[in-house]
């Protein structure tokens, strides 16, 4: 397991394959279920309408994919895409017993840096906690821009380093004192030690806006949420 910030795509893929069995439990326990509120915000802010064709990239266990599917309804289509097959297997298992069935979802193993979709294919897209993990953020944004139709949005939810000193200290304490020990209880110490370096090198909201515009999007806004400890970047093609 690498300990520096130079994780390769293969390192990241194997981390997410390994944490797949505990991923949902950790998310729910560590955020007290509030991650569902943030994920719903991302799904809503993607602007996906009934009947739309949508992409949830870096879908992991598919929470946002499910929210998008409910939003577009049975006449819509949602592709949940991720490069970690263990996450996709979890995602598929989670919707197996949902009634009415979410048949509008298709799970696709795909790399966010080389999307296997045609240009201008999607009406809307989402990404939850994925942008921080890709090894090339500008390329990822360029790919998202390519596959979206004109005037469509992508809503990108992720952690964020707050600018306020106190809240930043709180975030660091929370990661060190709560998240990493909780992950350790579940045998995932090394995997969650990865969170801090990934957050340290993640662009600020302002930098994310600049990257979005540089990728070709016509509008870019970063909305800090949870006191700035999280953020949603909304990009319009
Ligand atoms: C922290 S999880 C987020 C999962 C889910 N979106 C959520 O919000 O719960 C990040 C996901 O991004 C995926 N990922 C990271 N880099 C990727 C890439 N280059 N292509 C596709 N998936 C990637 C990982 O496999 C992992 O499932």
- The best mutation among 14, 60, 113, 142 to test binding of ligand 1, ranked by most ligand atoms within 8 Å of the C-beta, falls on 60
Q: How confident is the model at residue 3 (pLDDT cuts 50, 70, 90)?
A: very low
Pocket of ligand 1 (CB under 6 A): 9, 12, 16, 58-61, 63-64, 82-84, 87, 111-113, 128-130, 133-134
- What's the whole-number mean pLDDT along residues 7-20? 87
Give the SS3 label for residue 13: helix
Asked if the bond preceding 58 is cis, omega within 30° of 0, the reply is no
Closest CA to 201 of 8, 5, 11: 5
Q: How confident is the model at residue 1 (pLDDT cuts 50, 70, 90)?
A: very low
Query: Are 148 and 154 a contacting pair, CB within 8 Å?
Result: yes
Structural domains of the chain sorted by starting position, each given as residue range(s) with its CATH number in brackets: 9-236 (3.40.50.150)
pLDDT, residue 5, reads: 52
- The best mutation among 15, 16, 196 to test binding of ligand 1, ranked by most ligand atoms within 8 Å of the C-beta, falls on 16
Give one DSSP letter per residue of 127-166, joined into a string.
Answer: EES-GGGSS-HHHHHHHHHHHEEEEEEEEEEEE---SSHH
* Entry pTM: 0.94
- Residue 70's Cβ-count burial label (10 Å; 0-12, 13-18, 19+) is middle
Tell whether the model's pLDDT for residue 178 goes beyond 80: yes
């Amino acid at each position: 397991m690498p300990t520096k910030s130079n994780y390769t795509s293969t390192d990241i893929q194997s981390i997410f394959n390994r944490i797949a069995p505990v991923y949902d439990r950790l998310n729910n326990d560590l955020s007290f279920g509030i991650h569902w509120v943030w994920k719903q915000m991302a799904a809503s802010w993607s602007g996906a309408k009934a009947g739309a064709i949508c992409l949830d990239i870096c879908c992991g266990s598919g929470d946002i994919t499910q929210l998008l599917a409910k939003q577009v309804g049975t006449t819509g289509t949602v592709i949940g895409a991720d490069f970690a097959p263990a996450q996709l297997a979890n995602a598929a298992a989670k919707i197996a017993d949902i009634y009415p069935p979410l048949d509008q979802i298709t799970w696709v193993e795909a790399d966010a840096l080389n999307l296997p979709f045609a240009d201008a294919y999607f009406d809307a897209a989402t990404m939850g906690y994925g942008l921080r993990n890709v090894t090339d953020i500008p390329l990822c944004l360029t790919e998202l821009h390519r596959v979206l139709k004109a005037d469509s949005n992508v809503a990108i939810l992720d952690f964020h380093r707050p600018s306020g000193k106190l809240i930043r200290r709180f975030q660091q304490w929370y990661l060190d004192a709560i998240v990493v020990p909780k992950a350790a209880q579940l045998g995932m110490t090394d995997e969650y030690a990865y969170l801090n370096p990934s957050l340290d090198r993640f662009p600020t909201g302002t930098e994310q806006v600049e990257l979005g515009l540089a990728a070709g999007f016509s509008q870019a806004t970063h909305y800090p949420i949870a006191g700035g400890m999280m953020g949603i970047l909304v990009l319009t093609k």
